[in-house]
Structure 1
Amino acid sequence: MLRDIRRDPVLLVLWITLVAFALIWVAPFVFIVFTSLKSSGEVMASGAFTPPMEPQPGNYVFAWNRGGFDRSFFNSALITIVKVPLGLAVSALCAYALAQMKSRFNRVLLLLIVFGTMIPFQVMLAPLFTLVNGFGLVNTYVGLLLPYLAFGIPYQVFILHSFFRGVPKELSEAALIDGASHLTTLRRIFLPIMLPVLAALMILDFVATWNEFAMALVIMQDRNMWTLPLGLMSFQGQFSTDYGQLNAAIVITVLPAVLVYLIFQRYFVSGLTSGAVKG
């Protein structure tokens, strides 16, 4: 590898550019982690990227207790754990039906679904709140789950539809001839080969749901129903000058999403590539 880089100047430039961009992306995380382990005095006295001389792991305990993150963490975990697999299941069923079942309305339905991915959700916040409030679902888990599903499913259907269209029809046709139902065909034939795509979509959906702020701010007005981003906003407003605990709260908020990505990262590139180019 090193020999190839030395022989090819273009490859060398690409590697240097890649390393430079990687450092730019990693630098904020290094700053946040280092600052979360420093006292307020050390934060002011030391440089931004200087490792803590006397680590203060107690910042995490203080931030957790003072910010009341136990309730907001539970709310975010519950909503994400329910929304992500449910959204993927509905998206897989819809994408399979549009790609494998013959109907003259398939293209129209697909265009309507894709149109849903083109609407910025910020434009829909006011009518969305009116609709949720009309059903009496403000400050409820269902009131937040339903909009999350509505805005997440169209993108997933679009990706999975391309994947299903790329799978040879002979596989599903042979199973149907043998007497298998469409649900059995989806579960036993398509599901094993679509796991990388589902894993990639799960990562994207988990991160998007875990970090979502605007819809949660509009719908969850009761403090006991706040998700982690809302709890972090409140903590930042109260303890904006305590940089150690503030950055510890940031680490607490983003750590679950980072762990999920690290666990499933090997499926990420291959899964998105499969869903994007097939069909």
Structure 2
Amino acid sequence: MATEVLPGARHRRGVARWFVLVGAILVAVAILMPFFIMLLNAFKSPLDYSLNGPLSLPHEIYTKGLTTFWNRVDFPQKLLNSIWISGAVAVLGTLLSLLNAYAIGVGRVKGRLLVVSLFLLATMLPQEALIYPLFTMAQQVGLSNSPWSVIIIFTVIQSAFGTYLLASVLGTFPKALLEAAALDGASRWDVLWKVVFPVVRPTLSVLMIFFFIWTWNEFFIPLVMLTTNDTQTIPVALASLQGDRLMDAPTTNAGALVSLLPAVLFFLIFQRTLTRGVTAGAVK
């Protein structure tokens, strides 16, 4: 029998929804405000910035900051470096996470809880505690000032989180599917790619997107490991605009705007994939 909703309760729900909507709008404005200020100052001349401050509208469209940043840091080269490093880490980190989690969650290795705890601990270690041994090892194996040193480091770091996440998912994988595959004569490799992979593919897509964006934004390790201009990434290039005592704010804002566009474009392209992965990534 259907229950009748009282008018007062319906009114209270409507008012609560309006409060939630207003709160969401305020949070969105607070998040977007720094980007709006960056956009204002990216097209403002240094004189206009110094006289009127960062919150004023530009008196004229000033584009020299964009061209100065583009030429000073060799932005196309930095863009290629960031895409190559972030893309390689996204693919390799996701693959390594899948293999590790398959061994832990489905293979049921001994000491599974301890291994997963170690992966969780690895995600908590600060980069400052790791940088000296990593830099020394990179020099010893001949990967000093090589993008491969950053790719290997972040593949391991990102896969620690990916392994922790996927191991908990694969730990609840339906045993009936695994037993049916074993009765059909499938090897462990066949089970991985023909049974497990199709089920967790949405989750892997989410991991790949996160790994790409996280690696794209990394600064400290690329700053230490990549020492020449032709190997550095976009965040390191942005930091090079700031001197000891003086900072060209319009050029820095213009550079931040140009550097942000590839990441935003990547997110918009894969937004539907991210949404599907979040909603359909659970093992049924």
Normalised by the size of structure 2, how large is the TM-score?
A: 0.84
Q: Is the Cα contact below 8 Å between 1:163 and 1:274 reproduced in 2? A: no
Unaligned runs of 5+ in 1: none
In the aligned structure 2, how far is the partner of 1:28 from the partner of 1:6? 35
Change (3 A) 1:6 1:102: closer
User: Could you say which residue in structure 1 is the equivalent of 2:46?
Assistant: 40
Counterpart residue type for residue 227 of structure 1: T
Which deviates further from its counterpart, 110-119 or 79-88? 110-119
Deviation at 1:190, TM superposition (A): 2.8
Q: Is the Cα contact below 8 Å between 2:120 and 2:161 reproduced in 1? A: yes
SS of the aligned residue for 1:224 comes to coil
User: Could you say which residue in structure 1 is the equivalent of 2:5?
Assistant: none
In the aligned structure 1, how far is the partner of 2:121 from the partner of 2:279? 22
Deviation at 1:161, TM superposition (A): 1.4
User: Could you say which residue in structure 2 is the equivalent of 1:261?
Assistant: 267
Change (3 A) 1:57 1:180: farther
Change (3 A) 1:105 1:66: same
Q: Verify: 1:89 aligned to 2:89, yes or no.
A: no
Q: State, as a whole percentage, how many aligned pairs show the same letter.
A: 31
In the aligned structure 2, how far is the partner of 1:130 from the partner of 1:205? 25
Deviation at 1:57, TM superposition (A): 4.6
Please say which structure displays the higher CA radius of gyration: 2
Question: What number of residue pairs does the alignment pair up?
Answer: 275
Q: Verify: 1:233 aligned to 2:239, yes or no.
A: yes
Q: Is the Cα contact below 8 Å between 2:86 and 2:213 reproduced in 1? A: no
Out of 224, 240, 255, which is 1:218 matched to?
A: 224
Change (3 A) 1:103 1:62: closer
In the aligned structure 1, how far is the partner of 2:198 from the partner of 2:276? 15
What are the within-5 Å matches in structure 2 for residues 64-79 of structure 1?
Answer: 64-79=70-85
Q: Verify: 1:183 aligned to 2:189, yes or no.
A: yes
CA RMSD of aligned residues (A): 2.8
Q: Is the Cα contact below 8 Å between 1:199 and 1:264 reproduced in 2? A: no
Which deviates further from its counterpart, 124-133 or 181-190? 181-190
Q: Is the Cα contact below 8 Å between 2:241 and 2:247 reproduced in 1? A: no
What are the within-5 Å matches in structure 2 for residues 191-202 of structure 1?
Answer: 191-202=197-208
In the aligned structure 2, how far is the partner of 1:185 from the partner of 1:240? 59
User: Could you say which residue in structure 2 is the equivalent of 1:119?
Assistant: 125
In the aligned structure 2, how far is the partner of 1:59 from the partner of 1:76? 22
Per-residue CA deviation, residues 37-74 of structure 1 (Å, 9 max, x unaligned), is: 23334444557455555434554333211222222222
Which deviates further from its counterpart, 187-196 or 12-21? 187-196
Normalised by the size of structure 1, how large is the TM-score?
A: 0.85
SS of the aligned residue for 2:44 comes to coil
Out of 52, 55, 59, which is 2:61 matched to?
A: 55
Q: Verify: 1:30 aligned to 2:36, yes or no.
A: yes
Counterpart residue type for residue 164 of structure 1: L
SS of the aligned residue for 2:61 comes to coil
Q: Is the Cα contact below 8 Å between 1:72 and 1:225 reproduced in 2? A: yes
Counterpart residue type for residue 146 of structure 2: T
Q: Verify: 1:163 aligned to 2:169, yes or no.
A: yes
Q: Is the Cα contact below 8 Å between 2:150 and 2:222 reproduced in 1? A: yes
